[in-house]
Amino acid sequence: MTDLAFLGIADAADLIRTRKLSPVEYIAALLDRTGRLDSRYHAFIRLTPDLALAGARQAEKEIAGGNWRGPLHGIPTGLKDIIDCAGVPTTAHSKVLVENVAAQDAMVTQRLKSAGAIVMGKLATHEFAIGGPSFDLPWPPAVNPWGGNHFPGGSSSGSGVALAAGMLPAALGTDTGGSVRNPASMCGITGMKPTYGRVSRRGVLPLAYSLDHVGPMTRTVRDNALLLQVLAGHDPDDPGSANVPVSHYAADLERGVKGLKLGLVRHFYVEDMQAHPEQAEAIDRAAELLRGLGAEVREIRLAPLQDYATCTRIIIRCEAFAIHRRWLAERPGDYGNLARQRILDGAAVSATDYIDAQRLRGRLTRRTLEMFAGLDAVLTASSLDPACRIDDADACAWLYPRQARQPFNVTGQPAIAIPAGFTQDDLPLSLQLIGHPWQEAMLYRIARAYERATDWTERHPSAVSAA
């Protein structure tokens, strides 16, 4: 059971393709595990066992007939509950949409199903991907399986928890100000925010149109590359989608980093904000490890972290208020306190402030891309601290903005968060790698070299590994 729980996509795909593992057996095992664990961790808002088992039977039938669709065929996946799956409610973890049944699949759901993946259910999120962690919603917030009762990051919280706890090998999240990379950092998994426009957002409830991304979440780098391979591609029905060729993301995974030129943005986590000492040391050790593997690593300076944070905050609040203003007028009491407060903040921001923020975004993007010239990628912090207790509201409020993810929502560049060790209290630490637009493959190559030289992805929460 434990072996199946922490089986990755690549390994499971080989077993399924050669008929050594039945998709039905696989799904049934993970459904059983989730049934035993999720009353503690609350990763799922809704399991869909009947749909999942029907999909597994169909996948098994196709494989028996010689029709293997690729490495996601028969693989269990989960969707953050702002992503549509036909016939299943998309609630955004909110009373506002508790009866909102999706009429059709989101484009990313279509692509998963076309690749043979099986949707096992809908995963917890912060309310409308902005209000959390909250205890005044129809469902409790997801809880990190690392630590006793810790915050899992957000807003793709259920996705991170399900992966870390061995309930799923693959999940989708969304990232507007860091919401794929935050739970990846807090839960000790891998989360990619692709280049803006790389993955369709059609059928995904928006938070802020100009900053929203959909991203793959897995336990390992190879699995993440396999998942993005299926998700990426132009969608003419998403106005933000870009018609740019899609790379073969797994092709160069084992090439290593020898000869690559990497930038290190230390001022984000030692000057602009001071990271927790164990987190800062983990990033510095990662830089030294990459040097030892043959990369050239040199410090660079970008704009102050606070400039990116201010820009992001204004844009998100304004665009979120524009999306929610009708529901807020008609049903304000159906929102949780945190989401209502954060979205209503946008009502106080003027059009002038919004335009100024978008102009600042242009300047920050140009400056950032200029500093990336001559480099293959950049590394820096993702979260500045390990997870705090989820039931400590003051600690969560203090922790949430202490991060270095927002700069790359502003610029739209691809960014991946990967495990970088553990604290003395056995809480995950993380590292963020950032690339040139459309160069996700390079980030996977570097992340895989680091992953191969460490054993962080082989560790799982002790409380759930034995379950």
Side chain identity at residue 16, one-letter code: I
Give yes or no for a contact between 453 and 293, defined as CB atoms under 8 angstroms apart: yes
What DSSP string describes 424-464? TTS-EEEEEEE-STT-HHHHHHHHHHHHHT--GGG---HHH
Q: Which of 168, 254, 204, 190 is nearest to 452 (CA)?
A: 254
Give yes or no for a contact between 160 and 191, defined as CB atoms under 8 angstroms apart: yes
Q: Which two tokens stand for residue 205?
A: 């409830």
Question: Any idea what the Cα angle at residue 367 is, between residues 365 and 370, rounded to 5°?
Answer: 105
Side chain identity at residue 54, one-letter code: A
The whole-angstrom distance between residue 185's C-alpha and the CA centroid of its chain comes to 9
Q: Which of 152, 209, 210 is nearest to 181 (CA)?
A: 152
Side chain identity at residue 354, one-letter code: Y
Ranges assigned E (strand) in 307-423: 377-380, 415-422
Cross-strand partners of 122: 46, 79
- In a 13 Å sphere around the CA of 249, the CA atoms on its Cβ side amount to 26
Give yes or no for a contact between 6 and 30, defined as CB atoms under 8 angstroms apart: no
Q: Name the DSSP letter for residue 219.
A: S
Q: Which two tokens stand for residue 55?
A: 């999909």
Residues making up the chain, counted from first to last: 467
Tell me the torsion sign for CA atoms 403, 262, 278, 306: negative
Q: Which residues are the active-site residues?
A: 80, 155, 179
Give yes or no for a contact between 76 and 5, defined as CB atoms under 8 angstroms apart: no
Task: Give Cβ neighbours of residue 453 (< 8 Å, ≥ 6 apart).
Answer: 289, 293
What DSSP string describes 151-165? ---SSSHHHHHHHHT
Look-up of token digits 């917890």 = 124
SS3 85: strand
Cα separation, 218 vs 250, in Å, equals 14
